[in-house]
Structure 1
Amino acid sequence: MSEATSAAGAPSANVFRPPTAMIPGATPSSASNVSQAFQFSSGNPRIEETRGFMHLYRNDFASSSPELPVGRKTMVCVLGVPNHMTYADFCQFCSSFIHHMLEMRIVRNDGVEDRYSVLIRFDDQSSTDAFYKHFNGRRYSSLEVEACRVLFTIDVQYTGLIEHAQTSPASSTEQPTCPVCLERLEQDMSGILTTICNHSFHCSCISKWADSSCPVCRYCQQQPEKSICFVCQTSENLWICVICGFVGCGRYKEGHSIRHWKETQHCYSLELDTQRVWDYAGDNYVHRLIQSKTDRKLVELNHYCAHADDGCGSCNCSIDTGFSETLLNSKVENIVNEYSELLTTQLENQKIYFESLLQEVEEETEREISEAIEKAATGNQKLQKMQAKLDKCDQEKSFFDEINKSLLKNQDILKASIVEIEEREKKTLKLKDDKIRELEEQLGNLMVCLEAGSTVEQLS
């Protein structure tokens, strides 16, 4: 992947070859049957962007045959790495083969913003084959469903370099040393990783970087999310509060930014489209400088030449450049002072506003504390009354307990007396029964005597 290293600086003319992919010893028809081309880009889109094609072996060609492709090189491409995997995560994922990697380059396929690809060049073919067999189809982690997709690389071709902004001469040459450890980037000694913004590092150095941004230019491979209104989720006519960062829609939508100003008194708001600051209290724009879209420099808003309607160039005001620069510097200094005074005034107003809010909170807290104390005092009185009632109930309970004990004793006495009465009644009944039997016997004897007497009389 020697062509990839030259893209970090100014690519040479022999690198920009026409996008044709040929396997050594293969015809064009056979090469098209086993290869597939992917457009890729690298670099910071705001500064410069390198574009090209990478020709890879097809998946069905590699999987249909149990043997590896014939004519393969010591280059592979890992396609579709998720953006949430940082450079350090990827280096840790393939850490067992880091010492065999001469160079790694991070690129992005056209039309795919949430993923990136990694071009890897190894020191020998055996290491390349071992890496392919070990990582192809393997999941990045046990918590993810996505698997690693490794394809052998046939060729990498660069088609051009697009410059979006003026760069300094120092940034157009490849850095010979690692920006982290300041050691030379020697491919034969250790692996080199080139980030998506075309900055090269040692793999061991970039592995210590925590996030997915570049340590040099801070360019992040994850695309920033589009701003939306915090309330209605719209993405049109947005304004951001320069005090607290609240993003709301303008008055031509739902007017949430104006509502935010009425609720918080944050009167300065920045329009995201034009980068202009609006003062709700004064109902006008309060800034003087904006950023030019052509060269990204700060220019004065509505600045025009006083001697010509079409701007400078037709009068003598553009001759004395030193005087104009001095005048511009003085204007900028006055504008900075004006901004400082405006911000100081706004911050003082916000201080008074928040102090009033804090005072209201303190008063509310004191009122709640006094109410809690009153409730506690009332609760103590109720507790005392309940305690008195409880003591009275305890006395009544003890009194009733004594009465219950006396009643139980009387019950035992009454039970004993009832038993005695029952026994006495039994004895009385027994005596009565005995008397009745004696009387019945005597009556029987008497009746016998009378019958005998009557019989004697009849006989005589």
Structure 2
Amino acid sequence: MTPFPPFPNDGMEDRYSVLIRFDSQESTDKFYQHFNDRQFSSLEEEVCRVLFTLDVQFTGYTGSLDHVQSPPASSTEQPSCPVCLERLDQDASGILTTICNHSFHCSCISKWTDSSCPVCRYCQQQPEKSKCFICQTSENLWICVICGFVGCGRYKGGHAIIHWKETQHCYSLELETQRVWDYAGDNYVHRLIQSKTDGKLVELNSHCLHAANDGCGNCHCVDSGTNEAMLSCEAEIVNEYNELLRTQLENQKVYFETLLQQENEETERAIADAVNKAAIQKRQKMQAKLERCVKEKKFLEDLNENLLKNQEIWKAKLLEVGEREKNVLRLKNDKIQALEAQLGDLMAQLEAAGKAVD
């Protein structure tokens, strides 16, 4: 078959018509039986409608049927950039189309730092090969759906089940089969997987043996009755998964609140211990300072007492020296008076002797 470029379906957003030419009527009938009235995804209501076309006439197109050119820009409504909401001119440059078929201005998408699409969050880059966080093995890996811990299975190192025993995160996703295991119930509980094409949740068909190879595009291993029964219980599966996830999140909320409370209690205890230790150290410093002050006070008191004793001694000595000086001064005065009396007598005798000589 030869696919042709998709064209907007009468200007309706997110709906397209595709022209496909088949080599034989048998392949055409098989394609019609398999894809007509089939849902694009188990979680969407839109279905694929296949119509037989004998002749196609293009108005305003040039070239043969094998090389269909795009219609003029004025014939269809131009899409808009989801970021800036401006029209995307297909004739102008600077337009980037992602793998998930969403178009943006290059200047708008350059500001988006994440590797996923801003519209559908489809990851544009291939993820790195996962390894066990403990033993670094890449075989039989399980990822915790609560905290994202990657560990090996019980037939390797058993680090995934050890993580469950340590944290009580009982739901783990097997990376190879995309199925969820419940450690508490010891069984699989997840019947939805994530589509690798559009990133949406689709129903896991465990009976199909070719889904991992070609996406079950031409596989007839599941009959219509089983498919209808599985589609009818889709809402029940989603509700079951949501209930399981809600229960696990509630348990984790209680678990982390307990850890947070313990951490707060330990923090308060550590703060109280630090305050008590600081108070004890401060009291010890004050006690040492007080002891030094008491010693200094005693030393000053002893020094003052000695000074007072010395003062009394010096006072007595000063009185004794004063008395002795008074006695010496009195003796000197007496000697002076005696000498003056003798001098007076001598002068009188000298005068008398002089008169006698005359």
Superposition TM-score, scaled by structure 1 size: 0.40
Superposition TM-score, scaled by structure 2 size: 0.49
More strand by share: 1
Whichever of the two has the greater Rg, that structure is 2
Higher relative contact order (CA 8 A, sep 6+): 1
